[in-house]
Amino acid sequence: MPLSPEQQAEIDAQRRQKQQTLRAVAPGMEAHLYTARPVLDHGFVRVIDYMGDDAAICQAARVSYGKGTKSVQNDEGLIRYLMRHWHSTPFEMCEVKFHVKLPVFVARQWIRHRTANVNEYSARYSILDREFYIPAPEHVAAQSEVNNQGRGATLEGEEAARVLDILKSDSARCYDNYQAMIAQDGQQGLARELARMNLPANIYTQWYWKVDLHNLFHFLRLRADVHAQYEIRVYAEAICETVADWVPFAYRAFEDYRMGAVSLSAQMMECTRRMLRGEEVTQETSGLSAREWREFRETLAG
Amino acid sequence: MPLSPEQQAEIDAQRRQKQQTLRAVAPGMEAHLYTARPVLDHGFVRVIDYMGDDAAICQAARVSYGKGTKSVQNDEGLIRYLMRHWHSTPFEMCEVKFHVKLPVFVARQWIRHRTANVNEYSARYSILDREFYIPAPEHVAAQSEVNNQGRGATLEGEEAARVLDILKSDSARCYDNYQAMIAQDGQQGLARELARMNLPANIYTQWYWKVDLHNLFHFLRLRADVHAQYEIRVYAEAICETVADWVPFAYRAFEDYRMGAVSLSAQMMECTRRMLRGEEVTQETSGLSAREWREFRETLAG
Amino acid sequence: MPLSPEQQAEIDAQRRQKQQTLRAVAPGMEAHLYTARPVLDHGFVRVIDYMGDDAAICQAARVSYGKGTKSVQNDEGLIRYLMRHWHSTPFEMCEVKFHVKLPVFVARQWIRHRTANVNEYSARYSILDREFYIPAPEHVAAQSEVNNQGRGATLEGEEAARVLDILKSDSARCYDNYQAMIAQDGQQGLARELARMNLPANIYTQWYWKVDLHNLFHFLRLRADVHAQYEIRVYAEAICETVADWVPFAYRAFEDYRMGAVSLSAQMMECTRRMLRGEEVTQETSGLSAREWREFRETLAG
Amino acid sequence: MPLSPEQQAEIDAQRRQKQQTLRAVAPGMEAHLYTARPVLDHGFVRVIDYMGDDAAICQAARVSYGKGTKSVQNDEGLIRYLMRHWHSTPFEMCEVKFHVKLPVFVARQWIRHRTANVNEYSARYSILDREFYIPAPEHVAAQSEVNNQGRGATLEGEEAARVLDILKSDSARCYDNYQAMIAQDGQQGLARELARMNLPANIYTQWYWKVDLHNLFHFLRLRADVHAQYEIRVYAEAICETVADWVPFAYRAFEDYRMGAVSLSAQMMECTRRMLRGEEVTQETSGLSAREWREFRETLAG
């Protein structure tokens, strides 16, 4: 369970405080607000605030005085057009803020997306909790043999047990020693800004993360992708579920034109055209390298 | 009057649509929502949406589960501390979206602030309205003699009349010709993306502009400053008035630690210390250049 | 001719000043340095400085101590891999700085790309030159009938002549009046920051523009595209020519995987697969809207 | 010693490869290129590339065709003026790229500066080296009693010994287990992207980091400050030394107007003015809170 009773009570209190507003309201997102959606063994994603909805995208695209287009159908058509033709600024007019609890090694990957606002819990100022990510057995996987930066089959038997054992015992020992070093009974106590260096990368941290919808879609396309590391992908997927309820038209357009879309190189597109004309194309006649040809065949197979 | 009856009706309609929300609500900002605050002769600023309030700054600073600090006094103290010590990320957790109508030459200065989202009305796609900024007589000013990028005394008499005459007649003629070129009765009509090049920089454009509070403060410090050009300063001042009602604690801290604050160079601070010890300091003994010394004396005079 | 003899002399002086450096040197780019490549009737693009080369992309990708990979072939293979799989950070490790002279209406479109550094010639501080963009007759085009933000056929005959006449005479008159207003003989002279508002959007401005290679490619993909307005596309094309000489491997990868690539939506890709299996697909059975179907057919036709 | 003989040989090879260039060359920076400047026990900072020099700042500020101003004195005067009046864009026209080796907990603080380009060594793709930061005895410090996010006196005797012991043994054990988990002799071997989570935050990582001069100054002002954590401050100081040799005028202006400057709030400045007029000001009559008053007195004491 990721939340203490006190934390849950604070969340419940916020969910009871309905107020009136003149702003755009997205009912699908109101249902998610503040609630913690569990991710991994101790993590979560929860929506803290949002700005705008599908109509706000249209309103900004038209720089209009009132709401966006005349009808809901027009809104969806316009949004799909904007997405298809890479008009990014209207999507930047929606914003969302999340509270995320996540292992440090996931946070380090996440932060590489720089076009967002972040405020992280400070281990210089505060003491971190004893919470470490220990993978579920089915996610303890071997190094991939084909992809240097990926994982292969699930480890089994003794090897898997040994891994889990190590992760648990090293986490526990490092945390015990972290506590021992900062303790102030009978000693001065090491500065927190130094003691934190003894903590391994599977310890959980948390942050507030705020991003506009365009940049969020970019993040999701890379991190909800099947090639992303499992431990960040589950966060991206949890976010996808909330975004689908927040801006359903934009999310559907994102699924069709980004997430599920395929980019074919100039040469690949030319091969496709030749194949559609009935020509037999092989790697040799394709102009593609062996590696590109393999990727192309995989794309066609779907 | 900057708004047509239809536009005003759309705004009024939006101000009638109260809905319930679980999000943070800033009553001072709700009062401003959608309403156009007139600026210059045809321009305006209106708040379209906002995210967060003073408490949200504290909530992000503490990465908390519920609201920010325990009490309102604590909130203000924390906000002032954050501002004083240049902790910018908590202020980035508030966001605001404006609809602005402004002359093109003001827009060109404004857009230099790149850390914001902008969606401008497209003169490639649409036809611009016949609205030009003509300065009020008291703002028709001579070139400054001391500051290459500033203005001096108000022009008077014939010269002022001549200027206003030119601005009005050139605007009118350019717009007439713009219309004549794009007209499609009896001719094909020039492409709008070309015709727009005939319009002078005092024509009004409009955009949606969205920015986080930290970057907005940076914009306001530069553009609400007494050295900023009058025509952009009045927009900055109009925005200041809405921000003061949105996040009163943060705005007050901004006034004290940024807007009204003074930055003294290492040498200027050393001079100040010597003067406070009763020492007589002159430009010669100050270590400052003549220009710096003059700026320093002005700062001390207040 | 866009350059005065004094300006040309300054450029020539810079091209004579060879110095020694330990940094990465791109011979193809050295040949371009400082030289003004003419664009439109008075504009230009000239490379002022650059950082890095193809090898530097590999070096950064590998976080290496020496040069990038072992061989030039490996460098190209790695660069193509990085481009194909959207690894953007290694491309950000190259940087380029241009001096650009361009009409204001082009500058306004250009500046929408915010991830770059810009320093523009200040019409608040200085007096602009009497130089206006007047389209060549073959570029005076009618409004497109199918695309709201595009142009159609070239205007001919009297209508074309009228347009050129208007553009020339309005530019001339506005500039004459600009000069008359700021003149200080026999009058005080209007502040430059005000007088500039009388100048139409086809006047030339200039700026220094600095950008990393990843963001430059993004700019070029949008602005060298066939749908971009002609007047900005010619600048993008001029830049393309210098980039091809600067980082030939990266530029080729950009051409293949971005510029010449095609993005097919999930539904379009599914249609393609069905067609490759020999199935007859019509708009009705495609799941695509009429508009998407038309765009899809155009893509397949190439 | 931070470098292996092979790494040193690669660096030496790069320092021998002098080539000719037409670009701006900063002799002070050429002397630093590629050389590793040691920081902490295993870290370093080394300059990989740079763009521009002091003259380039002036050249951009004036959007000039040739070099910047007429004389070197004018260059320094202009640069100081630009710095004093917060004109940031000319400083953005210089760029620098570093290769940095640093402990992960320092990297996590560093990366919060988002306006830079980063390419980090991937522990998903590669195996990290067995190198951990172990503080020198004089830097093993107690938690500060006055500052929640700072350190106090150096720990001594048994407590210090215990801390060093823990840091060393936990690092060693975690790394041994990291190696054991990924080993592929007699077992499949855990995926590297998972195994890395067992490594504590004092392990060294490395990255290429590229930033413009304006944003670098912002980084240095915060991280070379006396309140910054020692372990990041030493990196900032090492960078300061290279920047002082690269752009000596700009660096001196930065020292005077930023690093060594003092920001006085509106109220503090008013107190200063009263004191300069000979008035006795106490906390009670100052309008400052107790905390602000203490900070103000410290500033005046210098």
pLDDT tens readout for residues A254-290 = 999 999 999 999 999 999 999 999 999 999 999 999 9
> What's the average model confidence in pLDDT over B169-173?
98
Which positions 153-192 of C are in contact with D (Cβ < 8 Å)? Answer: none
Residue B11 has phi, psi (to 5 degrees) of -65, -45
End-to-end CA, chain D: 38
Is residue B89 over pLDDT 70?
Answer: yes
Which among D226, D255, D256 is the top mutation candidate for probing chain B, defined by the most B β-carbons within 10 Å of its own β-carbon?
D256
Helices (H) and strands (E) in chain B, counts: 13, 9
Is residue C1 over pLDDT 70?
Answer: no
Q: Is residue B222 within 8 Å of B233, Cβ to Cβ?
A: no
List chain C residues with CB under 8 Å of A276.
272, 275-276, 300
CA distance A85 to D166: 57
Is residue D116 over pLDDT 60?
Answer: yes
Q: Categorize the per-residue pLDDT at D148 as very low, low, confident or very high, splitting at 50, 70 and 90.
A: confident
Which chains border C (3 or more CB–CB pairs < 8 Å)?
A, B, D
Maximum Cα–Cα distance across chain C: 83
Is residue C68 over pLDDT 80?
Answer: no
User: What are the CA-CA distances from residue B270 to residues B163, B286, C135, D86 (Å)?
Assistant: 48, 9, 59, 21
List chain C residues with CB under 8 Å of A272.
272, 276, 300
Average pLDDT, chain C: 94
**Runs of H (alpha helix) within C183-212:** 192-195
List chain A residues with CB under 8 Å of B95.
51, 95, 210
Q: Which of A247, A226, A246, A248 is nearest to A237 (CA)?
A: A226
Q: Which of D40, D60, D102 is nearest to D212 (CA)?
A: D60
> What's the average model confidence in pLDDT over C30-57?
97
| Helical (H) or strand (E) element with A264 | strand A262-264
Q: Categorize the per-residue pLDDT at A145 as very low, low, confident or very high, splitting at 50, 70 and 90.
A: confident
Is residue D68 over pLDDT 70?
Answer: no
Question: Touching check for C119 and chain D: CB below 8 Å?
Answer: yes
List chain A residues with CB under 8 Å of C292.
84
Tokens matching residue A243: 């975004």
Beta-sheet strands, E only, within D2-112 = 19-21, 37-39, 43-51, 95-103
Cβ neighbours of residue D218 closer than 8 Å, sequence gap 6 or more: D113
CA distance C132 to C203: 4
Cβ neighbours of residue A169 closer than 8 Å, sequence gap 6 or more: none
| Helical (H) or strand (E) element with C206 | strand C204-212
| Residue in D with minimal Cα distance to C12 | D66
CA torsion C243-C247-C248-C252 (nearest 10°) is -80
The Cα of D150 is separated from the nearest Cα of chain C by a number of Å equal to: 32
Q: Categorize the per-residue pLDDT at C64 as very low, low, confident or very high, splitting at 50, 70 and 90.
A: confident
Give the domain D5-133+202-259 fold.
Gyrase A; domain 2 (3.30.1360)
Residue identified by tokens 């009896």 is: B186
pLDDT of C148 reads 82
Q: Say whether B27 sits in a helix, a strand or coil.
A: helix
pLDDT of C69 reads 62
Indicate yes or no: CB of A143 within 8 angstroms of CB of D199: no
Cβ neighbours of residue A173 closer than 8 Å, sequence gap 6 or more: D170, D173
CA distance A130 to A168: 12
CA distance C180 to C190: 9
CA distance A48 to A67: 25
Tokens matching residue D59: 């050249």
Cβ neighbours of residue C225 closer than 8 Å, sequence gap 6 or more: C233, C259
Q: Is residue D185 within 8 Å of D193, Cβ to Cβ?
A: no
Is residue D1 over pLDDT 60?
Answer: no
Is residue C95 over pLDDT 60?
Answer: yes
Q: Categorize the per-residue pLDDT at A104 as very low, low, confident or very high, splitting at 50, 70 and 90.
A: very high
pLDDT of B68 reads 58
Question: Touching check for C198 and chain B: CB below 8 Å?
Answer: yes
Give the domain A5-133+204-259 fold.
Gyrase A; domain 2 (3.30.1360)
CA distance D52 to B239: 38
Concatenating the DSSP letter of every residue in B145-198 gives SS-TTSEEEEP-HHHHHHHHHHHHHHHHHHHHHHHHHH--SSS--B-HHHHGGG
User: What are the CA-CA distances from residue A172 to residues B223, C128, D174, D262 (Å)?
Assistant: 54, 69, 12, 46
> What's the average model confidence in pLDDT over C266-276?
95
Q: Categorize the per-residue pLDDT at C70 as very low, low, confident or very high, splitting at 50, 70 and 90.
A: low
In this complex, the residue of C56, C117, C121 whose CB is nearest that of residue D93 is C117
pLDDT of D79 reads 96
pLDDT digits (tens, 9 = 90+) for B209-248: 999 999 999 999 999 999 999 999 999 999 999 999 999 9
pLDDT of C36 reads 96
DSSP state, residue C224: S
The pairing of strands C37-39 and C19-21 is unpaired
Neighbours of C262 (CB within 10 A): 17
| Helical (H) or strand (E) element with C264 | strand C262-264
Angle between helices A290-301 and A266-276 (to 10 degrees): 60
pLDDT digits (tens, 9 = 90+) for A181-213: 999 999 999 999 999 999 999 999 999 999 999
Q: Say whether D184 sits in a helix, a strand or coil.
A: coil
pLDDT digits (tens, 9 = 90+) for D229-257: 999 999 999 999 999 999 999 999 999 99
Which positions 70-109 of A are in contact with B (Cβ < 8 Å)? Answer: 89-90, 92-93, 95, 97, 99
* ipTM for the assembly: 0.94
Concatenating the DSSP letter of every residue in C83-131 gives HHTT--TTGGG-EEEEEEEEEHHHHHHHTT--SSEEEEPPTTTSPPPS-
| Residue in C with minimal Cα distance to D51 | C51
DSSP lists the bridge partners of residue D209 as D98, D118
CA distance B234 to B135: 13
The Cα of C120 is separated from the nearest Cα of chain D by a number of Å equal to: 7
Is residue A1 over pLDDT 60?
Answer: no
Is residue C2 over pLDDT 80?
Answer: no
Q: Is residue A215 within 8 Å of A115, Cβ to Cβ?
A: yes
Catalytic residue among C62, C223, C252, C297: C223
- SS in 3 state form for B74-123? HHHHHHHHHHHCCCCCCHHHCEEEEEEEEEHHHHHHHCCCCCCEEEECCC
CA distance C113 to C218: 9
> What's the average model confidence in pLDDT over B250-256?
97
pLDDT digits (tens, 9 = 90+) for C152-198: 999 999 999 999 999 999 999 999 999 999 999 999 999 999 999 99
Tokens matching residue B121: 């009305």
Q: Is residue C157 within 8 Å of C142, Cβ to Cβ?
A: no
Residue identified by tokens 């908590």 is: B90
Question: Touching check for A302 and chain C: CB below 8 Å?
Answer: yes
Q: Which of A45, A53, A9 is nearest to A29 (CA)?
A: A53
Question: Touching check for A114 and chain D: CB below 8 Å?
Answer: yes
Is residue C56 over pLDDT 60?
Answer: yes
The Cα of C49 is separated from the nearest Cα of chain D by a number of Å equal to: 6
One-letter amino acid at D245 equals D
Angle between helices D290-301 and B72-84 (to 10 degrees): 20
Domain boundaries, chain D: 5-133+202-259, 134-199, 266-301
**Is D37 a residue of the active site?**
no
Question: Touching check for A25 and chain B: CB below 8 Å?
Answer: yes
Least confident window among A30-34, C102-106, D149-153:
D149-153
The pairing of strands B37-39 and B43-51 is antiparallel
pLDDT of D302 reads 81
Which positions 220-279 of B are in contact with A (Cβ < 8 Å)? Answer: none
List chain C residues with CB under 8 Å of B175.
none
Tokens matching residue B130: 């016949």
What is the gyration radius of the CA atoms in chain C, in angstroms?
24
> What's the average model confidence in pLDDT over D287-298?
91
Q: Categorize the per-residue pLDDT at B72 as very low, low, confident or very high, splitting at 50, 70 and 90.
A: low
In this complex, the residue of B48, B52, B65 whose CB is nearest that of residue A49 is B52
CA distance B70 to B78: 11
The Cα of D191 is separated from the nearest Cα of chain A by a number of Å equal to: 4
pLDDT of B70 reads 66
pLDDT digits (tens, 9 = 90+) for C225-254: 999 999 999 999 999 999 999 999 999 999
| Residue in A with minimal Cα distance to B32 | A22
The Cα of D233 is separated from the nearest Cα of chain C by a number of Å equal to: 23
Tokens matching residue B126: 């649409």
